A = this chain, B = another copy of it.
Amino acid sequence: MQKVRVASFSISLDGFGAGPDQSIDNPLGIGGENLHQWFFPTKTFQQNVLGKSTGTTGIDNKFAENGFKNIGAWILGRNMFSPYRGLPNIEWKGWWGDNPPYHVPVFILTNHKRESFEMEGGTVFHFVTNGIHAALEHALEAANGMDVRIGGGVSTIRQYLQAGLIDELHIAISPVFLGKGEHLFNGLNMHSLGYDCAEHKPGDKATHIILKKDKQ
């Protein structure tokens, strides 16, 4: 069955999924890169993102790898795509260079229309201006039976959680404090929203949890 998934989304011990003050120099917010220390050394990151052939192959990598399996489309919030606010800078083609690590259609939530464009390696960026439900419909269709991965950021995931549209989340809890930033769970009642922890597994550099939505 086609699923809507969040995967490899990292939060701090104090629950933040990104640091404050995102900018072109700090795409993950200040201190945000500390959340991902479990991910960077993995073979999955080293291969898929950096094009290298090395990397760790333990539990952290297993979770990272699963996050890319059977993904037919992605959805990203506008801040995951760009540091610019307001009208789009049409020179900007994402953080990832000419060959982004998606290789499938990517739907970006935004208030500003922009033409779709294709990158090397099969990634096509689409800009959706009519809301999270429309974006998900497009993504599910484009994924053609495969899963849709909601990449983030925090605000995007929270919106989809509140709408009850996410089937499964893999969250990595990193052993760091951010102190401030964007909090993933604050004010959300995950229990009432139907989510429970289905798996709880320690990796070398983070604790991995799998949250699943009860089927009503």
Contacts and interface: CB of A to CB of B under 8 A. Distances in A.
A209 interface: yes
A179 interface: yes
Interface stretch (A45-53, A120-128, A188-196): A188-196
Given A14-B15, A185-B15, A179 B192 contact: yes
Contact of A13 (B14, B179, B197): B197
Interface in A170-216: 171, 173, 175-180, 183, 185-186, 188-192, 195-197, 200-202, 207, 209
A189 B181 CA distance: 10
A179 B189 contact: yes
Interface of A: 13-15, 31, 171, 173, 175-180, 183, 185-186, 188-192, 195-197, 200-202, 207, 209
Contacts of A188: 14, 179
A51 B127 CA distance: 63
Contact of A176 (B173, B175, B197): B197
Nearest to A207: B207
A185 B15 CA distance: 9
Given A13-B185, A13-B190, A15-B185, 20 more contacts: A13-B173, A14-B15, A14-B185, A14-B190, A15-B15, A173-B173, A175-B197, A176-B197, A177-B185, A177-B190, A177-B191, A177-B197, A178-B191, A179-B188, A179-B190, A183-B186, A186-B186, A200-B207, A201-B202, A202-B202
Closest 3 CB pairs of A and B: A202-B202, A179-B189, A175-B200
A173 B180 CA distance: 20
